[in-house]
Structure 1
Amino acid sequence: MSRAPLPGVLWVGGPPGAGKTTVARLLARRHGLRWYNADAHTWTHRDRAIAAGHPAALRWEAMDLAERWSRPAAEMFAMSLHRERGPMIADDLRALPPVPLTIAEGTPVTPEVTGAGAHAVWLMPTHEVQKARLAERGLAQGPLELYRYLVREIEAQVQAYGGTRLDVDGSRSVADTVAEVEKHFAAVLEAGPKATAAAGRSRLLRYANQAVVSQYAAFAARPWAPGDARTTVLAFACECGRDGCEVDVVMAVADFPRAEPVLATGHG
């Protein structure tokens, strides 16, 4: 049986390559929502699992990079903490302020955690779409096998719980997919609290940007982490808070300003 919905949360799930982050990020900026990106909490969740003595988490940390991605797909899936992270995500969301609405997205977002209904949707890419999108990331064979495994796992869960799925087959543009998800959430978006003032929107954008910075800092702090993740160049949301602003500011993680807002040219 599905869980009761977590108040004030819209959920977007699906496997890697589905477009979850793009959709959730755009809807958050468009409607004045808080964007919770599960990827940004990966290392916090892993640390919780390690502290709890979770065998798969401990095994994963003890392996080198090559060994992790050479294991059978089922073992890689277990070490991904896919099932364990769902409840952690729910705990994170319960700790956030109830206003405004939060749109939460990530691969560990499953119907077992969210329940099924108008507050949740899963983007399910076809094999061809996922393969093409993941090829753009230049992933090795190990991650590709895990991500294909995740498609089957998530599809089975969505079907078992009666969750709403939106097939991503390449026939829709990004804008069309965003519109479909927006339509699914229409009633909740209409009734739920949103940030309308620029200051409130700016704080939400700052929260989302800082979460991504923390993600890369936590990875770089791992003793086995290759290179310096802080040199990674990303597109951060402009924090001006203007209604309708969807401009990004490209910079290295290490250059993210700690005190000043991230602002696009002319948006000060």
Structure 2
Amino acid sequence: MSQGKEPAVPGRKGPPGPAPRAVWIGGPPGAGKTTLARALAHRRGLRLYRSDTLTWEHRDRALAAGHPAATRWEALTPADRWSAPPAALLAMSLHAERGAMIADDVRALGPGPLTVVEGTPVTPDTVPDPGRAVWLMPSPELQRRRLAERGLPEGVHTLYTLLLADLAARIEAHGLAGRVVTVTPDATPADTRTAAEALLAGPLAEGPTATTPDERRTLRRAENEAVATQYRTYLARPWTTGDPDTVPVTFSCECADPECTAQLTRPLGTFPPAGGGALRCH
């Protein structure tokens, strides 16, 4: 993290303290962060922290602290949010504030395996040690393709472009080009993982890791619980629509096989499975 005064964290969970061991994966939306982080965590028996699953908790913390941009965002209609000027879009995304909240969340994690932390707000100003971080940066061609594939509204497209430019500027300012994995259209997820593992070889070797099937299943259940909470917190907002019992949600298989990459779509109301069993692909 940059030197100097520590950034204010809306609704801080607790006082600053030493963080558990972690590796950090940043990059703009659509760069492949979640795919990479999930592969590292599942294959190696690591704890996974996905910032997207904390989006609404972070917004609630900012609201409770009276953060002006968070308050404004909640008060606007979706159409008005995405038609805001670029500077307002970036401010209302809470990009900088969420980076500090992510670092705060990681410090608050209890003992456990090495944590893989991923998210767009993971910037050079977020991570305690850049030597434990990588940033996935899509090539211009890939960025254009992925934004087009998503069919995003103009305002969302604008925000994503701003986030990419902001991250690129921060990486350059900190002199961290050597911590970047450039993702090209012909790169496979395995290619990206190999490049990231090379940059993170030291921290990944340190561990600790989950070693038994039960420990791995516990990690996957925690990962899925975070996803379920993300959806439930979102659907509780007064301006959202959707039935929290029937909305389809994608979860990770909890079979504990390190090579399993299965993602299972289930109605939110069916998670956790009845009887406390694991969510399995077979």
Tell whether 2:277 aligns with 1:264.
no
Q: Which residue of 1 aligns with 2:67?
A: 54
Q: Which residue of 1 aligns with 2:160?
A: 147
Distance 1:137 1:236 in 2: 21
Tell whether 2:34 aligns with 1:21.
yes
CA positional deviation for 1:256: 2.1
TM-superposition CA deviations, 1:52-92 (whole Å, max 9, x none)? 00000000011001000001111100000000011111111
Q: Which residue of 2 aligns with 1:109?
A: 122
Larger displacement relative to structure 2 (143-152 or 164-173):
164-173
Amino acid aligned to 1:186: A
CA positional deviation for 1:6: 4.4
Alpha carbon RMSD of aligned pairs, Å?
1.9
Tell whether 2:228 aligns with 1:217.
no
Q: Which residue of 1 aligns with 2:111?
A: 98
Pick from 220, 232, 235: which aligns with 2:250? 235
TM-superposition CA deviations, 1:196-235 (whole Å, max 9, x none)? 1111111110011110111111110000013346644343
DSSP-derived class of the 1:249 partner: strand
Number of residue pairs matched by the alignment? 265
Q: Which residue of 1 aligns with 2:10?
A: none
Distance 2:198 2:248 in 1: 33
CA positional deviation for 1:246: 2.4
Q: Which residue of 2 aligns with 1:32?
A: 45
Distance 1:32 1:236 in 2: 17
Distance 1:13 1:248, change over 3 A: same
Distance 2:175 2:245 in 1: 41
Amino acid aligned to 1:243: P
Larger displacement relative to structure 2 (178-187 or 17-26):
178-187
The answer to whether the 8 A contact 1:231-1:253 is kept is yes
Distance 1:104 1:162 in 2: 21
Distance 1:130 1:229 in 2: 33
Amino acid aligned to 2:278: P
Amino acid aligned to 1:90: A
The answer to whether the 8 A contact 2:24-2:132 is kept is yes
TM-superposition CA deviations, 1:158-217 (whole Å, max 9, x none)? 111223111112231111101111121111111220101111111110011110111111
Larger displacement relative to structure 2 (180-189 or 129-138):
129-138
Pick from 229, 250, 265: which aligns with 2:265? 250
CA positional deviation for 1:7: 4.3
Distance 1:229 1:134, change over 3 A: farther
CA positional deviation for 1:104: 0.5
Distance 2:244 2:161 in 1: 26
Describe how 1:164-183 pairs up with structure 2 within 5 A.
164-183=179-198
Flag structure 1 segments of 5+ consecutive residues without an equivalent: none
CA positional deviation for 1:128: 2.3
Flag structure 2 segments of 5+ consecutive residues without an equivalent: 4-17
Larger displacement relative to structure 2 (193-202 or 131-140):
131-140
The answer to whether the 8 A contact 2:20-2:110 is kept is no
DSSP-derived class of the 2:36 partner: helix
DSSP-derived class of the 1:239 partner: coil
Distance 1:252 1:131, change over 3 A: farther
Distance 1:136 1:234 in 2: 21
Question: TM-score of the superposition, structure 2-length normalised?
Answer: 0.88
Distance 1:264 1:126 in 2: 34
